[in-house]
Chains A and B, each alone.
Chain A
């Protein structure tokens, strides 16, 4: 009796997994055994979402994808199961839910840190170049902190003290947006442990507005 029941559910499970796998294979590069950038582009267009949309980044986060531009089968399976989807239409719907999930304070910092790590494409790479950082900032924080991000991006492009940004500086950008009042920057205290780049940014802002 019991055995029969489990067989049914496991059959159902297997069936669900099959659908996920089949979806995977639609986009995967067969010789690599994983979804490559081309596949992701195709996925995006099917989802009706731009390649550079932040929701794709969120999807990567949900999938815990290790390498930018690639989804492995494991990542795909685990991710889609966590999302509770097994078809394209369900995935499409899940994307908007995903946005809300990411915005939850408990997840947001994790997502934010993930976004940086995702850009570390080379082995042993520790920092990301300024151009990419500006794009990433815009993508990830632009909506929520538009004025700060615009101004910060402007500064990052004109300054030449730093050519790359490391993870410590990255995480402090978020802190900065969350904690420091804008645009007066009144509660910013350079004697605290803020990264030097933000000290310089604040100085630059203050000079601009004086």
Chain B
């Protein structure tokens, strides 16, 4: 250890030797590597020169000389070597020189490390590392970067490229701005121009699927470029650029291509191409909007075509059974829904935009009326058919479940849900009362589904009906016990009674039919039984829903006839008389003309002529005469003589309208009660929202109800502001 202070020049000479040695190593000249002793000496020299007492404290000069060492080397050796080369060779040289420079910085900063610890920290100066890199940046990079960028863009050798591009990144010393400004910007522009050219020629020549394939490939190629030699930060920008040039700029032309664009692809069910379309456009903001905007009208058009088909078919073929075409329509609508739902989930990856498009499209045509029937009614009839015993086709339980699921889904698109409920509620009793053997599970399951879809209020009555039946069976068992224990009371005819709770079931007209004597006794006996069970309940008999099994003693054989109670009443009259006129029958039974016409028609002019009519015309008139047709026969021993039901459609619609008025009133009062004061538009929109689960209220209807509420002093108009309403407690 020397005690004397080391002079600057002497110390520097020593350092210079070390630096020269390093340079020689970097140049690839034969030179043994540094030993640890040599390293220590160099380090210590610096240490000493820095820790000496002033004026021998040479930290500042050493700092400056450190920088000068780099500058000298770069100016004398590095720059000339770069200047004489071009293109790829220049890049190669640059890569080498950069690598070398980094090594140099590393070693020299180790030698001079002591400066980093105290001098630099104290004076807040750039670190040795920074100084080293800055030298390269200021002297080399500044001069060559433009040339380098040009060379890179035209270059193919990827490995070299990666090295060169890393220079751009590292020169930034932590920030990406060198890379971005000096290289990336131009690269992107160049890429953009390249693809723009390609796109303009491809769009002319290629079909939409082909163009999309090419686009996909280009995107993939660009991604590869990034992973191989570009910096990862370029990936998004590059993809965006490519997408822009290929897909966004030409979006409309591409999608609207006449024979291969989006619409034809949908038409021809090109699932793969559509999936590709989705993949390509989903990354672009709002890129999917044009696709959805083609998807929606396509579905609407197909749906509307189905509706039109049904209309035409029904008006053309007068011979086909009524309602058949409508049922076919529902079935086809379900199929259409399945098909496009598959598209949404598969091709379009369940994207909300497409769900929405599907929903809106279906809402449009599902609410069209077909041959005067609303779609709500058609759907209800469809359900009914499926659930009836056997149905129109024998369907397995799973298929029925599935179909019901789909029906409930379709219900979501129909705005008059309450209309569906009413029709369904009207058909349900008939099924419940006459088709006992139909599957209960299905009934319950569809009710559960409807409840989920539309709320409990919707289904509470229907559930009530189903429960009534279960109770009725119990009740019947009790009745039979009662008869066994009171054998004298037995009316001589087997009677099954179903007691219905009034609120749940639709209201039925009950006529005071003059029952045949045998039946009167039955009714009396049951009444007696019922009173033993419950007091304070009044039984109203609905004969129109009853069924009778009558044995007809025809000449050829006895046939059991399954008829409605009314029909039975008519037939039993003929036990007492051979021949009766229309008016006589009417007098006996006390029915309306409408009902009697239907009854007599079913017994004398329909499939089974139990009664013979005089004159033997196809329709009943008031002057006709009827006789028991003893010559009637059939190959079956037991036949059902159907009675066509009354058309209740009008009544259903009326009932629904009435319920709607109450619902609107209730909603309005509810809203105003809580808000106290509310503007007109807000009131209307809140009302619509509250009711939307069941039906879509007409704005005019709401206005009318509001006026009614004003007259009834529930609301008043604000004196100052005509558009505000106030709740009157």
By a beta-carbon cutoff of 8 Å, the part of chain A in contact with chain B is 126-127, 166, 168-169, 172, 175, 191-193, 195-196, 199
Contacts and interface: CB of A to CB of B under 8 A. Distances in A.
Contact of A196 (B681, B707, B725): B707
B723 interface: yes
B711 A196 contact: no
B683 to A, nearest CB: 9
Given A195-B703, A195-B707, 10 more contacts: A126-B711, A166-B707, A166-B710, A166-B711, A169-B707, A192-B680, A192-B681, A192-B723, A193-B679, A196-B704
A129 to B, nearest CB: 15
A199 B722 CA distance: 15
Interface string B685-717: 000000000000001100110010011000001
Contacts of A126: 711
Contacts of B724: 193
Nearest to B701: A196
B703 to A, nearest CB: 4
Contact of B707 (A168, A175, A192): A168
Contacts of B679: 193
Nearest to B717: A168
Nearest to A172: B722
Nearest to A127: B711
Contacts of A166: 707, 710-711
Contacts of B722: 172, 175, 192-193
A150 B707 CA distance: 25
A168 to B, nearest CB: 5
Interface in B498-534: none
A199 B703 CA distance: 10
A86 to B, nearest CB: 36
B680 A168 contact: no
Contacts of A169: 707
Given A168-B717, A199-B700, A193 B725 contact: yes
Nearest to B703: A196
A61 B377 CA distance: 57
16 contacts: A126-B711, A168-B707, A168-B710, A168-B711, A191-B699, A192-B680, A192-B681, A192-B723, A193-B679, A193-B680, A193-B723, A195-B707, A196-B703, A196-B704, A196-B707, A199-B700
Contacts of B723: 192-193
Contacts of B707: 166, 168-169, 195-196
Contacts of A175: 722
B482 to A, nearest CB: 56
A174 to B, nearest CB: 11
Contacts of A191: 681, 684, 699
B376 to A, nearest CB: 26
Nearest to A168: B710
Contact of B700 (A127, A192, A196): A196
A175 B723 CA distance: 12
A193 B717 contact: yes
Contacts of B703: 195-196, 199
Contacts of A196: 700, 703-704, 707
B687 to A, nearest CB: 13
Contacts of B717: 168, 193
Contacts of B700: 196, 199
Interface string B652-681: 000000000000000000000000000111
A137 B523 CA distance: 64
A192 B725 CA distance: 12
Nearest to B700: A196
A97 B201 CA distance: 87
A169 B703 CA distance: 12
Q: Which 9 A-B pairs have the closest CB atoms?
A: A193-B680, A196-B703, A193-B723, A168-B710, A166-B711, A196-B704, A192-B723, A126-B711, A196-B700
Nearest to B712: A126
Contacts of B684: 191
B526 to A, nearest CB: 49
Interface string B128-145: 000000000000000000
Nearest to B715: A168
A210 B552 CA distance: 69
Contacts of A199: 700, 703
Nearest to B685: A191
A164 to B, nearest CB: 10
Residue among A172, A193, A196 having the largest count of chain B Cβ atoms under 10 Å:
A193
Contacts of A127: 711
A113 to B, nearest CB: 11
A172 B699 CA distance: 19
A142 to B, nearest CB: 23
A83 to B, nearest CB: 28
Nearest to B679: A193
Residue among A127, A166, A168, A172 having the largest count of chain B Cβ atoms under 10 Å:
A168
A38 B80 CA distance: 127
B283 to A, nearest CB: 40
